[in-house]
Amino acid sequence: MTSWMDHTLQPAEGGPWFASGAIEGPAHPDAPVRVAPEVREALKYHRPIVALESAVITHGLPAPHNLQVALDMEAEVRAAGAIPATIGLWEGRMVVGLSPAQIEVLAQMAHDARTRHRPLAARQDFRLVKISVRDFAPLLASRDARLFGGTTVAASLAVAHGVGIRFFATGGIGGVHYDPPYDISADLPQLARTPVLTVAAGAKAILNLDATLEYLETWGVPVVGYGTDMFPAFYSVDSPWKVRHRVDTPSEAARLLQTHWRLQMPSAVLLAVPPPADAALPYKYIRRLIEMALEELRAHNEQAAQGRGQPIRGAAVTPWLLQRLTELSDRRTMRVNLALLRNNARVAGQVARAWVNWLAEESRRAGP
């Protein structure tokens, strides 16, 4: 019987979904998950792969930024020496490794849905959805070819792990909201149970970062600063919160990750990367804007409770607050968001490449 000390350091050729029959193939032609040929080959030959979410395309950024940044993130991953795998729902199936043409269609669908315009004649009856882990079985079991959608951080982590991808890049994770405080993103429990490196500029700044960090600590998720001792606050390099651990290079991150995985720790590692300094905003400045937006949100919901308008609750809160920050900051928050998304993709690609190189070097040292 083997123990964790005996586990090979070689990358897995595929995650648990290959064995379970969830992946489309000759033996399972109607399986709910399709892995693009480039990604499948990269898994087979132990090449570095970085998973990317698609909710930023379908429900996050407005056009034309959603399409451009999605393509830019893929380009950053490739420039770092890794293979990008954008994850999304396409014609009722989960696809790992959307093509540029598919990404473009999702971006157009998002624009059409926002503007209630349907110029895509062949897809006038499409349904564009935002997918979290709770939606997998209901949506995929329906086999509805009209379904298209973007995966959240939680959903993307689950899919990446399911197919055997160990690296993931996003803008910022979800977390604990201020009001109501029981509004907790599914990203947090998913991070606690998914051993995938997650590269992000911390959590979204509109959240209760103190409570979010407490949740991550309670559930054993390592939060590691990348070139920083501070927990970045999404738009800001600095914040009032420090991180317990720090790495400064892709190689240091790779060594930490291999130790985490060799010990069979069940959680993700959150690599907290500050936004690029030339785009970042001062923490105190952004906090003032967030407090203004939160006060506006509370006032709106108080009026809605008196029958004047519809309340903004649940999944609608985050996009509303982010849009309000864009307006209050004269679009400066948007510029930071775009810059950090590209930067995080670059860092994830560099760490993925460093990890594969580190494994190869260790294998050479071990000999035949």
Tokens 């062949």 locate to 122
Q: So which residues are the catalytic ones? A: 53, 204
- Residues 6 or more apart whose Cβ sits within 8 Å of residue 142: 92
**Measured between alpha carbons, how far is 117 from 135 in angstroms, rounded to an integer?**
26
Burial pattern 249-260, b for ≥16 Cβ within 10 A else e, equals: ebbebbbbbeeb
Please give the backbone phi and psi of residue 218, each rounded to the nearest 5 degrees, phi first.
-60, -40
CA angle 309, 314, 318 (to 5 degrees): 95
Radius of gyration of the chain (CA): 20
Query: How many residues are there in the chain?
Result: 368
Please give the backbone phi and psi of residue 307, each rounded to the nearest 5 degrees, phi first.
90, 10
Q: Are strands 83-90 and 93-96 parallel, antiparallel or unpaired?
A: antiparallel
Between the alpha carbon of residue 214 and those of residues 127, 180, 223, the distances in Å are 37, 17, 11
Burial pattern 93-102, b for ≥16 Cβ within 10 A else e, equals: bbbbbbeeeb
CB 286 within 8 A of CB 336: no
